[in-house]
Amino acid sequence: MLAITALALVRLRNLFAVAMLAGIYSLLSAGLFTTLDAVDVAFTEAAVGAGISTILVLGTLALVGHEQKKARRSSVIPLVVVVLTGSILVYGTLDMPPYGDPANPAHHHVAPHYLEESEHEIGIPNVVTSVLASYRGYDTLGETTVIFTAMVGVLLLMGGLRKRENSGETDAETRESEDASGSGPVPTHGGSGTDPPKADGKKTHGEGDAHGG
Amino acid sequence: MEDRLILRVGAKILIPFILMFALYVQFHGDYGPGGGFQAGLIFASAFILYALIFGLDTAKRVLPLGFVWFCGALGVWIFAGVGVVTLVMGGEFLNYDVLAHEPEHGQELGILLVELGVLTTVFGVMVAMFYAFAGRRQVR
Amino acid sequence: MNVMGLMNYWAFIFLMMVGFYILISQGNLVKKIVGLNVFQTSVFILYISMGKIRGGTAPILTEGDPIYSNPLPHVLILTAIVVGVATTALGLSLVVRIHEAYGTVEEDDIHDLDLAVAGGEDQSFPVSGMDARA
């Protein structure tokens, strides 16, 4: 199922259908994660892949158009590269430990400690949560910082520039304080109370800018 | 979509349940699948649904842009703050044992606070990204 | 027995290669990002399938003493998924900015526009702004 969906993704040229199929692909992989005992991961994948990612892709398509042009280049060279890489990887798997075997090396490092001791050390039943938040708290802190940084990046690329064009300012702090207070023209008005016509002129100018942006 | 009656009523019925489910996922994450990430995503999706149905401007009145940005930063601050508190109370960074008299209670409290930080950040970041992408269309 | 034990790796490789093919052969930038997501998901499947133990159950401690699957890959992938959506959003916002600067998201067209500017033709594409940003 996953493979069929992935292959359909290659062939489709209507990008709305691609976005929807990507959501279905994520949902199918969430089901696969559930059968592989990773319920937390399945939950997250369903919420992210079928929810937020699809909405973001659709939002992008609304901005950039949804028809893909036919590629001018031939697809033979990429195909050769992919088949070559794939066969090298398959050759590499011949030494890998078999699926589902309890004797695999991955199950004999720190995982037994987590499973046996976390009941006494942490005291909560969901081992994934205790490992995530306590044993590997640094990882999660770094990960939280990463998505915060991604938000800052997205806002700089998408949201911040609009206000910069409006106000003619380049300083990020000025923009934020303006946005937070939302009372840009008011201090100007109050401060120059002795000169009402000038203040009025400034205010209308600002409003005109806001409409123009 | 302002004139679609069924959508509007349906969304109004659904959104409180989505928010409740997010809180359930958050606080039941110790015992079943769930936790800060999932709860934050579900919480954010409730507000994204609201914005889709009732329009972006209405959503921005309910949930102002500055508040969303603040949430994104606040979560990281809570997370790192828990680490600093454990440092001050004599443990290592993010060692929750020292937060309460019993190490286990300290661990539970620490995990709860940290998950709360993750929830806040994920919620803020997802809604802020949605606002950024959806607000772009109105400008152009 | 040997071949059946490796099937999960081959499924992962197939999905990864499909994602890789989308990434290098398609000209549309949005589709490239979808391909990147397929690629990411295949890596998630690799990790999760390595954590599975036959006859195991989800790692939530219960009464009795069943076999639990390995919780460590789950934690790593949980982190990776959320970072993945963050990178996806960042990439999509870059696509939107590229569309505003060039008017297209097709790689070939962008390449042509760049060549036209480099060839000294006096066209005012706002490429300098993009460079300054980078």
Instruction: Dump pLDDT digits (tens) for B100-118.
Output: 777 777 888 888 888 888 8
Residues of B in contact with A162 (CB under 8 A): 139
Mean pLDDT of C88-113: 86
pLDDT (tens digit, 9 = 90+) per residue, B126-135?
Answer: 898 888 888 7
Cα separation, B66 vs B104, whole angstroms: 37
- Residue A30 contacts C where some CB pair is shorter than 8 Å: no
For A148, residues 6+ apart whose C-beta sits below 8 A from its C-beta are: B72, B73, B75, B76, B121, B125
Mean pLDDT of B72-81: 89
Residue scoring higher pLDDT (C104 or C1): C104
In this structure, are residues C18 and A10 in contact, taking their beta carbons and an 8 Å threshold? yes
The pLDDT value recorded for residue A206 is 39
Task: Flag if A159 and B125 touch (Cβ within 8 Å).
Answer: no
The pLDDT value recorded for residue A65 is 76
Q: Which chains touch C (3 or more CB pairs under 8 A)?
A: A, B
Task: Flag if C96 and B133 touch (Cβ within 8 Å).
Answer: yes
Whether the per-residue pLDDT at A46 is higher than 80: the answer is yes
Q: What is the span of the domain harbouring residue B129?
A: 5-139
Closest CA to C12 of C52, C44, C54, C53: C44
pLDDT (tens digit, 9 = 90+) per residue, C32-43?
Answer: 898 899 899 889
Mean pLDDT of B35-56: 87
- Average pLDDT over all residues of chain A: 71
The pLDDT value recorded for residue B17 is 92
Which residue has 């939302």 as its token pair? Answer: A182
Task: Flag if C82 and B31 touch (Cβ within 8 Å).
Answer: no
Mean pLDDT of C114-125: 68
Cα separation, A210 vs A207, whole angstroms: 5
Cα separation, A201 vs A210, whole angstroms: 14
Whether the per-residue pLDDT at A172 is higher than 80: the answer is no
Whether the per-residue pLDDT at A59 is higher than 80: the answer is yes
Whether the per-residue pLDDT at A203 is higher than 70: the answer is no
Given C57, C96, C106, which is nearest A69 (Cβ)? C106
Question: What is the DSSP code (8-state) at residue B28?
Answer: T
Q: First vs last Cα of chain B: how many Å apart?
A: 20
Residue ranges of the domains in chain C?
2-133
CA A122 from chain center: how many Å?
A: 31
Task: Flag if B115 and A59 touch (Cβ within 8 Å).
Answer: no
Mean pLDDT of B75-84: 88
Residue scoring higher pLDDT (A73 or B10): B10
Residues of C in contact with A149 (CB under 8 A): 86
- Average pLDDT over all residues of chain B: 84
For A74, residues 6+ apart whose C-beta sits below 8 A from its C-beta are: none
Q: How many CA atoms lie within 13 A of A193 on its CB side?
A: 4
Cα separation, A72 vs A70, whole angstroms: 6
Q: Which amino acid is at C30?
A: V
Question: What is the DSSP code (8-state) at residue A9?
Answer: H
Which two structure tokens, joined as six digits, stand for C56? Answer: 């195991």
Chain C stretch 77-96, residues whose beta carbon is closer than 8 A to a beta carbon of chain A: 77-79, 81-90, 92-96
Calculate what percentage of chain A has a pLDDT beyond 70: 71
Task: Flag if B32 and A122 touch (Cβ within 8 Å).
Answer: no
Whether the per-residue pLDDT at A194 is higher than 70: the answer is no
- Residue A110 contacts B where some CB pair is shorter than 8 Å: no
Calculate what percentage of chain B has a pLDDT beyond 70: 95
Residue scoring higher pLDDT (C24 or B4): C24
Class of CATH domain C2-133: mainly alpha
Whether the per-residue pLDDT at A69 is higher than 60: the answer is yes
Whether the per-residue pLDDT at A207 is higher than 50: the answer is no
Give the ranges where A2-75 is alpha helix by DSSP (H): 2-11, 15-35, 39-47, 54-64
Q: Which chains touch B (3 or more CB pairs under 8 A)?
A: A, C
Residues of C in contact with A99 (CB under 8 A): 4-9, 49, 52, 54
Which two structure tokens, joined as six digits, stand for B86? Answer: 């454990």
Q: What is the band of A161 on the pLDDT scale with cuts at 50, 70, 90? A: very low
Given B35, B80, B103, which is nearest A141 (Cβ)? B80
CB count in 10 Å sphere of residue A73: 11
Given C27, C38, C95, which is nearest A60 (Cβ)? C95
Whether the per-residue pLDDT at B125 is higher than 70: the answer is yes
Task: Flag if B129 and C96 touch (Cβ within 8 Å).
Answer: no
Calculate what percentage of chain C has a pLDDT beyond 90: 3
CA dihedral B87, B93, B99, B104 (to 10 degrees): -150
Task: Flag if C89 and B136 touch (Cβ within 8 Å).
Answer: no
Q: How many CA atoms lie within 13 A of C32 on its CB side?
A: 16
Q: Which residues pair with C68 in a beta bridge?
A: C57
Residues of C in contact with B129 (CB under 8 A): 89
The pLDDT value recorded for residue C134 is 40
Cα separation, C89 vs A154, whole angstroms: 7
Say which range, A133-142, C8-17, C63-72, has the weakest mean pLDDT. C63-72
Say which range, A194-198, B68-72, B106-110, B130-134, has the weakest mean pLDDT. A194-198
Residues of B in contact with A59 (CB under 8 A): 130, 133-134, 136-137
- Average pLDDT over all residues of chain C: 80
Whether the per-residue pLDDT at A163 is higher than 70: the answer is no
Residue scoring higher pLDDT (A170 or A130): A130
Task: Flag if C60 and B32 touch (Cβ within 8 Å).
Answer: yes
